[in-house]
Amino acid sequence: MAEHALNRGSDIKLPCFSDSTLLFLGSLLVSKDVKSLIEVRSDVTQLLRSESISVLLSISDKTVHEKLLVLEFFVRAFALVGDHESCLALRYEALVMRETKSSKYQWLRVTPLEWLRFVEDALNNGFHSVAEKACENALSYHGNNDVLKPGPDAFTENLNAISEITRLRNRAMTLVASRSVQVQAEEYLRRKTSEQKMSGLSYKEERCPASTAFRNGIKRQNLRRLYQHQSLLKINDELDGSHLNLRLVIANKTC
């Protein structure tokens, strides 16, 4: 099933970034078999990642509008297969591209509300450092007095969005710092555990010769006792032999 999906998925390589291509992509993910669905989703995700890199490199000389259309296609495609990381990465690239080119093309300007939605999605998916960076970009491009659209409603909307972005930036910074402390704590515990294991190994290596020496000492002591016992037996045998010879001499003299 997965190989079949990949073979059909090769059609995605065609330069057709349209809704029909997304519908075709979605058809690959329709399966009643959970195992097959997981395999196909994984295969299609890897295919999209590979193709997105290749395509984005190939359109470096295209217009901003064309680049944004391709980025939007892959954002929707990654969202379809559930690859939130790639989806957010390309969304962020598109937002930054728009802001960079907005000095020349005002219609590309990213509104505070768009930045806010991205920050919320990044935080909800656990990408705290990305959310923090997006907040910084949003606040650097838009100040409290920067009104993108005329009218009191737009002014209030922008101010509220900027205020919320500021709040979320503080939250993201706290989460990033907390994560950093957690990582440092985990690294410290791993290091201490490793040191304790090495210390225990060293202790065992030091104890091994001592225990061996103790056992060897017992063996030597037992050997000495054995030799002493054997020597005593020999002496007794010699004494018994001497006494026998002496008795024979006395008996001969008496006769």
Decide if 112 contacts 161 (C-beta within 8 A). Answer: yes
DSSP-derived 3-state class of residue 126: coil
pLDDT by residue for the chain (255 residues), tens only, comes to 444 444 444 444 434 677 888 888 888 777 667 788 888 888 889 989 998 899 989 988 999 999 999 999 999 999 999 999 999 999 999 999 999 998 888 889 899 999 999 999 999 999 999 999 999 988 887 754 444 455 556 778 888 889 999 999 999 999 888 876 666 666 656 776 776 666 665 555 555 555 565 566 666 766 666 666 666 666 555 555 555 554 444 455 444
Residue 210 one-letter amino acid: A
- pTM beyond 0.85: no
The domain limits of the chain are 1-103
> What's the Rg (C-alpha) of the chain?
42
Quote the CA–CA distance of 153 and 220 in Å, as a whole number. 99
Residue 198 one-letter amino acid: M
Quote the CA–CA distance of 128 and 113 in Å, as a whole number. 18
3-state secondary structure 34-79: HHHHHHHHHHHHHHHHHHHHHHHHHCCCCCHHHHHHHHHHHHHHHH
